[in-house]
Amino acid sequence: MYRLSAAVATPVALLFSAMRVLITGAAGMLGQDLIGATVDAGHVLVALPRAELDIADHAAVESAVRDARPDVVFNCAAYTNVDGCETNLETAFAVNGEGAGNVARACAGVGAWIVHVSSDYVFDGCKREPYVESDATRPLSQYGRSKLAGEQAVAETAPNGHTIVRSSWLFGSRGPCFPATILRLAAERDALSVVDDQIGCPTFTGHLAQALLSLAAERPAGVIHVAADGQCSWYEFAQAIVEAGGLACEVRPGRTEDLGRPAPRPAYSVLRSERAGAPTLPAWPEGLDAFMAAGVRVG
């Protein structure tokens, strides 16, 4: 368990008055960046990775939240194996659906605000203009359905104390992600085929973490979309990654249907917010620059 007292924190920028913060899923890519942002802001932190807190365990969640006495809980815990969710339905819904409800219920019990992280996969991708918060959800995959179930559980269980943040195509310097994989493969091969028929907003977790902290301070209720500015295909993203890495690998456009993946993906999942005061993130190329500057973990 990662615990830090505000008295020993050395804030880089104390943006808000100190809060007591609990992070679930703290060992994940977003969770680790959120730890860094929370420490830099001088908040009191309890960070729990899955090894220390399985959010599918209702009793364990109640105990952890009660002991931490947080002002805000960031629920970053999720089962994110999109293809695995197609066959591991029980796990997907236990974590992404019921687990999110467990965290929200525990928050409501102690008067804490929950910031729950959700996904662009709650949409079917049939639009050709950005999805906003009021658009109807229609997930194509079991992963998307489980994440939508989590949104509903949070809203129902903590009706007066939640912010649900949908984001898109997360990548970061503290865990396995698309840019790290592309850099590894591009160093090993002369050419790569990457799909050009899925469009989204690659979002750097370092940027998203800062936005989540601002939302915790402001506490807007309901659903809010927070994703990188701009849009691109996976193919265009891969081209930019290879160029940023100074690699000679050729990137060729491919088709999703040729991959034979078990879970369907939305063809278009660009997110924008229609809510006044919603956080705005830098454009995805700036996120890629930040990723490269942070030091590459190739995976």
pLDDT at 18 over 90: no
Residue 292: name the closest of 241, 252, 251 by CA.
Answer: 241
Query: 76-85: per-residue pLDDT in tens?
Result: 999 999 999 9
Domain-embedded: residue 250: no
Are the CB atoms for 73 and 161 separated by under 8 Å? no
Asked if residue 142 belongs to a domain, the reply is yes
Residue 12: pLDDT over 70: no
Position 208 in a domain:
yes
186: which DSSP letter?
H
Residue 260 burial (CB count, 10 A): 6
Q: Is residue 145 domain-resident?
A: yes
* Dist CA 92 CA 199 (whole Å): 25
Number of domains in the chain: 1
Domain membership of residue 289 (yes or no) is no
Side-chain half-sphere CA neighbours of 53 within 13 A? 32
* CA gap 157, 101 in Å, rounded: 6
**Burial, 213: exposed, middle or buried (Cβ in 10 Å; 0-12, 13-18, 19+)?**
buried
Tell me the whole-structure pTM to 2 decimals. 0.92
Q: What are the pLDDT digits (tens) for 77-113?
A: 999 999 999 999 999 999 999 999 999 999 999 999 9
Q: φ and ψ at 131, to 5 degrees?
A: -75, 135
CATH number at residue 222: 3.40.50.720
In a domain, 16, yes or no: yes
Distances (CA, A) of 75 to 11, 21, 39, 198, 278: 23, 11, 17, 27, 19
Phi, psi of 72 (to 5 degrees): -145, 145
Confidence of residue 175 (pLDDT cuts 50, 70, 90): confident
Tell me the average pLDDT across 211-225.
Answer: 96
Q: Is residue 296 part of a domain?
A: no
Rounded alpha-carbon distances, angstroms, from residue 175 to 180, 291, 296: 9, 11, 10
CA 260, CA 235: separation in Å to the nearest integer? 17
Give the pLDDT score at 298: 56
Residue 40, domain extent:
2-172+203-228
d(CA 11, CA 144): 37
Q: Mind listing the pLDDT tens digit for each residue in 232-283?
A: 999 999 999 999 999 999 999 999 999 889 999 999 999 999 999 999 999 9
Q: Flag whether 249 is in a domain.
A: no
The residues that are catalytic are 143
